[in-house]
Structure 1
Amino acid sequence: MRIFFAIKLPPQTYKELRLITKAISKSLGERLSIFRWIPQENLHITLKFIGEIQDKKLPLVADIGKEVALSCSTLTVRSSNVIPLPSPQKIRLLALAFQRIPSLDSLVKTLNASLQKMGIPSEKRDFLPHATLARVKRGKTLPNIDLSRDIPPITFEASEIILFKSDLSPDGARYSPLYTFPLKSPINRQ
């Protein structure tokens, strides 16, 4: 089973996301056809990609998710800009980047440390909070594109983390929530 922890972008952000994708589409012009756009209901900020795991380990991973969520408070998440990844010279995807905030970094660090104790390696790369908007279709190349236009920020309250199952298919990945873990609400902060 292929799994990951994430924060799902809530439905109230979809209208703003449509405006962003419309602006990107306009600037791409003819090159728009080389992208496969991610359905809005699949948009999320990956906190930790775990990958393949044995079914028997799933309850242990879920327990870690629950513990970590209970130790973190709700987060105000705010987007910054649209970025090409992994780099402007070698674009594989377009992503909506989110501002790094100490509480989000702490959540990811705690999640990584807890999972590492059960033998799941930590990420080698620095955490870059983002939601993938579109992927470059296989076999296509893309010259540099200008994504510097002003994009209105999207802000939302993240009140839970989700452990997702990822099923790959030729049409793209399908994500199914396995467990949802509420973060501490501001009222319950200690």
Structure 2
Amino acid sequence: MNSPHYFIAVPLPSSLKEKLAGWQRALKPELPFKQWVHPEDLHITLKFLGAVSEEQLNMLIRLMAQIRNFNSFSLMTGGLGTFGNPENPRVLWTGVERKPELMDLQQYVEGIAFESGFKQEKRPYSPHITLAKKSAGKTDRIPEVKSRYTGHQPIAVNQVVLFRIHPGKKPKYGIEEAYKFSRGREQ
């Protein structure tokens, strides 16, 4: 039997999910992507883990409890960007501010994952919220469309979640464990 797949992420507030779902509805007729992320699945990935054994999961859950000592902080999100060929992108995303607190949190999560037996990510961390994946064809509309989506919205970061991936379901990400920060302001 295959091991379930997991990732660690910052969950988004409902208000931001609703705003981004509106962007997705407006963008679908304009941009050729095969897969649009379900609004309930929108998040900021800190670490993709992939297949996780029960032993790794137990260690990860135990070590992640330490993350509760982090302080809450806020971030700005907004704008559109892509990964891959600009005319045939792999991913359409909205940006996330590269705030030191977020970068420290991601590095901490990366360290916990490494200690739990996962490979360290070699690519530099690029915080974003994926809106769509897998371009369905070339388009020259991306620059024009990106110029219309420039608004920014603040979000409070006061917890980290271990998500389990449920292929074939919508939404497909389920909360396995949530780690609310014990320090900082209530948000």
**Short-chain TM bin:** 0.7 to 0.9
Superposition deviation, residue 118 in structure 1: 2.9
TM-score, normalized by length of structure 2? 0.84
Distance 1:185 1:123 in 2: 28
Q: For residue 75 of structure 2, what is the aligned residue in structure 1? A: 77
Q: For residue 141 of structure 1, what is the aligned residue in structure 2? A: 137
Superposition deviation, residue 10 in structure 1: 1.2
Structure-2 change in CA distance of 1:143 and 1:58 (3 Å): same
1:140-176 deviation digits (Å, cap 9, x = unpaired): 222342113342112110111000111223x777111
Structure 2: gaps of 5 or more residues: none
Structure-2 change in CA distance of 1:94 and 1:172 (3 Å): farther
Q: Which amino acid aligns with 2:98?
A: R
Say if 1:20 and 1:151, in contact at 8 Å, map to a contact too.
no
Computed over aligned residues only, the root mean square deviation of the Cα atoms, in angstroms, reads: 2.3
Distance 1:141 1:6 in 2: 30
5 Å-filtered alignment, 1:91-170, equals: 91-136=89-134, 140-144=136-140, 145-146=142-143, 147-169=146-168
Structure 1: gaps of 5 or more residues: none
SS at match of 1:131: strand
Structure-2 change in CA distance of 1:61 and 1:156 (3 Å): same
Distance 1:79 1:51 in 2: 26
Q: For residue 64 of structure 1, what is the aligned residue in structure 2? A: 63
Q: For residue 16 of structure 2, what is the aligned residue in structure 1? A: 13
Return 12-21 or 116-125, whichever deviates more. Answer: 12-21
Q: For residue 175 of structure 1, what is the aligned residue in structure 2? A: 173
Paired residues in the alignment total 180
Distance 2:118 2:18 in 1: 37
SS at match of 1:148: helix
The structure 1 segments of at least 4 consecutive aligned residues displaced by more than 6 Å after TM superposition are: none
Distance 2:185 2:156 in 1: 14
Return 155-164 or 108-117, whichever deviates more. Answer: 108-117
1:186 aligns with 2:176: no
Distance 1:89 1:64 in 2: 42
SS at match of 1:165: strand
1:3 aligns with 2:6: yes
